[in-house]
Chains A and B, each alone.
Chain A
Amino acid sequence: MKKFLAMLLCGSMIFGLAACGGGAANTSDGGSDAAETAEAGEATHKVGFILNSSINDGGWGTACYTDLTAAVDADPDWELAYTDSLSQDGYYDAMVAYCNEGFDLIYAPGGEYTDAVMQVAEEYPDVKFALLNGGEDIPASAKNENVTCLLPDATQIGWIAGALAGLASETGTIAFIGGMELTTTLAKYEGYVEAAQYVAEKEGKTVSALDAVYANSFDDSSKGIEFANAMIEQNADVFFGDASAVDSGARQAIDEYNEKQGEIKVFDIAQPADFLGQNDCIIGSQVTDNSSLLSLVLKSVADGTFKAEVTYGDLENGVLSIGALSDSLSKDVQDKYLAYIEEMKNGTFMS
């Protein structure tokens, strides 16, 4: 009897796990589920999306998911499934699962997926892969020529945030929180610091940046809280980050600090979507419109013109832009900031 009960319990747990595991891979809100779509005879292509944070992280994950959803919603030939909150050892398995289910395209939004993407791309030559922020040499090094890289200009992303930080900082100390030390994260930090210092100098003040800190995580918001508290203690009054849910934690700590002060004295610049209004401390956002790049990739896969190439995104071609600015910034600061953005667009910034 006990053996039977033990087997029953194990069975129910395995059944439960299978059901819950299935819950992690979902079809998007925008599209109907696979069976319904097949019946309707609409979607003929499938894109799988993997993410190491959550689509609800209020930062990177949210923006990447929203961009892909927008691209898929605009094209009735495509349907979307995603798996989020993956740990590093799950990247490969999640992609292989999509490949085995006949997905046409897999989208991995970050340089940290590069190794797993290259491995799966080699094993599944018929599946196409789109890697956001992959290296410039990645498409050429993919043996089956089935990897394309979308490469928003990380330095310009840093500039967009840095120019605003240089204008807004009153203490002269700015901060940056990274998830992991990725090449693109380093480029963003360097661009952020150099632009802030350049703009501050032009405004007749001095700005210095605290060393970039790394949470070693993209989904531990408590790390963001502690980092922000520690950096505020070091006089930092403008924050920028590249750490998904960790950034959300940092914004919480900044809001709590501002509440204690009775006014907004410490600011945050969000990325990669317009998050103005999500937290009181957000004064502006750097926006990356990956949906237009993704639309091109979806179209090329559907009509068979997919190429292993790098597609760049910058202010000039409209992939990078700025979000709405907070009313807490004076009209003068807003005007100056917009002028610096124009300089970035026409290539005269810091030249």
Chain B
Amino acid sequence: MLGFLSNIIYATVRMAVPLLFISMAELYSERAGMVNIGLEGLAVIGSLCGFLMSFITGSVWIGILCGALVGILINLIYAYATISLCANQIVYGMAINILAPAVASFVYRIYFGDGSSLNQISLMKTISIPGLKNIPLIGPLLFDQTPMVYLAIILVIFTAIFFNRSKAGLNYKAVGEHPKAAATLGIPVIGTKYLACIICGALSGIGGAYLTTCYSTTYTEGIVSGRGFIALAAVIFGRWSSGGILIACLFFGLCDAAQIRLQVSSLSIPYQFFQMIPYLATIIVLALVGSKQAGPKANGNPYRKEER
């Protein structure tokens, strides 16, 4: 039983980490009033770039860095269109979801050609803390992970402190709540929104790159598999707070890990029932948690400087 529990927890963390990066990307974006539904596309291009650069250079760290950079680059299209041109954020987010996977597919085919061989890379190595990693249940969970998992945890803690305990974080949040009031206080609204898009692009790209540098040795076009959309739900479920998002991501990861293990457990229940679990849980949780508006007040609204 302990083995089953520890395995399911371990799988939960594995599945939650990429989701956590992508959800945190959306948090930074929405806290500045930028609803970005293009996370799926950004993660796809990040996963391709992470894989490709790791494949070329042999360094997963270069892969992750390039995943972040290409995420920023693609998200700057969204940023320019929605911030400078005041275009609709949903429409451009969707455009990114169509454009980025197409570009990823195109680049992959350009580089690897029509060859049908399976291209694989070596994954990032885990860092084990001797002794501590042998503690039952929490040992492998906390002390035998890749550096990216530790980075994700640090990101959650940093974000919580930044938004709640720092002046810069409060200024940042003010842009998402009431940009005009923020502007009267001298906060650079446009600059903050661009910064939000840069952070969003970088974290989404890292989330995608995590999949191909720490999780799977190959790149497949379905590797992101809807995580960009689940991340949107995780931000709402997490009530736009980093701690809440961490819980939401672990919850979604747990649902997915549980449905896989329940399918394998041969309980003589049709497998479709287990496959429903993550979706069913999402609907129920959002119905319960999402009843009250808690997001940034100016979320999704274009900011026009001269407008009264």
What residues of chain A have their CB less than 8 Å away from a CB belonging to chain B?
Answer: 2, 5-6, 9, 13, 16-17, 19-21, 23-24, 26, 28-29, 53-58, 61-62, 65-66, 69, 85, 181, 210-214, 216-223, 225-227, 229-231, 233-234, 245, 248-249, 252, 278
How many angstroms between the C-alpha atoms of A23 and B101 in the bound complex?
Answer: 12
> Is B117 an interface residue, CB under 8 A from the partner?
yes
If A9-B85, A24-B102, A252-B217 touch, does A210 touch B118 (CB 8 Å cutoff)?
no
Q: A20-B99, A29-B115 are in contact. Are A9 and B264 (CB under 8 A)?
A: no
> What number of B residues sit within 8 Å (CB to CB) of A?
53
Q: Are A220 and B223 CB-contacts (below 8 A) given A17-B102, A226-B260? A: yes
- When the two chains form their complex, are residues A229 and B119 in contact, meaning their CB atoms are under 8 A apart? no
Distance in angstroms from B4 CB to nearest chain A CB is: 7
Asked whether, in the complex, the Cβ of B260 is within 8 Å of the Cβ of A221, the reply is no
Complex contacts, A212 vs chain B, CB 8 Å: 271
A66 to chain B, nearest CB (A): 5
Select B216's contact among A13, A21, A221, A231, beta carbons within 8 Å.
Answer: A221
With both beta carbons as reference points, the residue of chain A lying nearest to B10 in the complex is identified as A229
Contacts of B215 in A (CB 8 A): 222, 225
CA distance in complex: A211, B268 (Å): 8
Q: Does B165 contact A (CB under 8 A)?
A: no
CA distance A26 to B113 in the complex (A): 10
B257 within 8 A of A: yes
Given contacts A57-B118, A62-B118, contact A230 B105 (CB under 8 A): no
Say yes or no for B155: interface residue by CB 8 A criterion.
no
A2 near B85: Cβ-Cβ < 8 Å: yes
Please, what's the 1-or-0 string for B214-252, where 1 marks a CB less than 8 Å from any CB in chain A? 011110111101000000000000000000000000000
Q: Check: B282 CB closer than 8 A to any chain A CB.
A: no
Q: With A23-B102, A57-B220, A233-B261 given, name 18 new contacts (CB 8 A).
A: A21-B102, A24-B106, A29-B115, A55-B114, A56-B108, A62-B116, A66-B116, A211-B264, A213-B263, A214-B263, A221-B216, A227-B264, A230-B7, A230-B261, A230-B264, A234-B264, A252-B218, A278-B118
Measured CB to CB, the closest approach of chain A to B3, in angstroms, equals 7
* Residues of chain B lying within 8 A (CB to CB) of residue A19: 106
Establish whether residues A217 and B222, one from each chain, have CB atoms under 8 Å apart when the complex forms: yes
CB distance from B55 to the nearest CB of A (A): 12
Chain B residues within CB distance 8 Å of chain A: 3-4, 7, 11, 14-15, 77, 80-81, 84-87, 95, 98-99, 102-103, 105-106, 108-110, 112-120, 211, 215-218, 220-223, 225, 256-257, 260-261, 263-266, 268, 271, 275
Contact in complex: A6, B87 (CB < 8 Å): yes
A-B pairs under 8 A by CB, number? 152
Known: A16-B99, A85-B222, A226-B15. A211 touches B3 (CB 8 A): no
In the bound complex, what is the Cα–Cα distance between A220 and B4 (angstroms)? 24
Q: Are B98 and A17 in contact (CB under 8 A)?
A: yes
Please, could you name 21 A-B residue pairs with CB atoms under 8 Å apart, sorted by A?
A: A21-B102, A23-B109, A24-B105, A28-B114, A29-B113, A54-B220, A56-B115, A56-B118, A61-B116, A181-B271, A211-B264, A211-B268, A213-B271, A220-B222, A220-B225, A222-B216, A225-B215, A226-B15, A226-B257, A226-B260, A227-B260
Determine if B223 and A85 form an interchain contact, defined as CB atoms under 8 angstroms apart.
no
Contacts of A62 in B (CB 8 A): 116-118
Residues of B within 8 A of A227 (CB): 260, 263-264
Complex Cα distance, B113 from A28, in Å, reads 9
Tell me the complex Cα distance, A263–B156, Å.
39
Could you tell me if A233 and B3 are in contact, using CB atoms closer than 8 angstroms?
Answer: yes
CB pair A248 B260 closer than 8 Å: no
A2 to B81, CA, bound (A): 10
| Closest beta carbon of chain B to A123's beta carbon, Å | 26
Least Cβ–Cβ distance between B101 and chain A, in angstroms? 9
* B265 partner residues in chain A, CB cutoff 8 A: 234
Whether the pair B211, A222 counts as a contact (CB closer than 8 A) is yes
Q: Decide: B116 and A217 in contact? CB cutoff 8 A.
A: no
Q: When the two chains form their complex, are residues B220 and A53 in contact, meaning their CB atoms are under 8 A apart? A: yes
Question: Nearest CB to that of B257 among chain A residues?
Answer: A226
Q: When the two chains form their complex, are residues A23 and B271 in contact, meaning their CB atoms are under 8 A apart?
A: no
Are A225 and B216 in touch, CB under 8 angstroms? yes
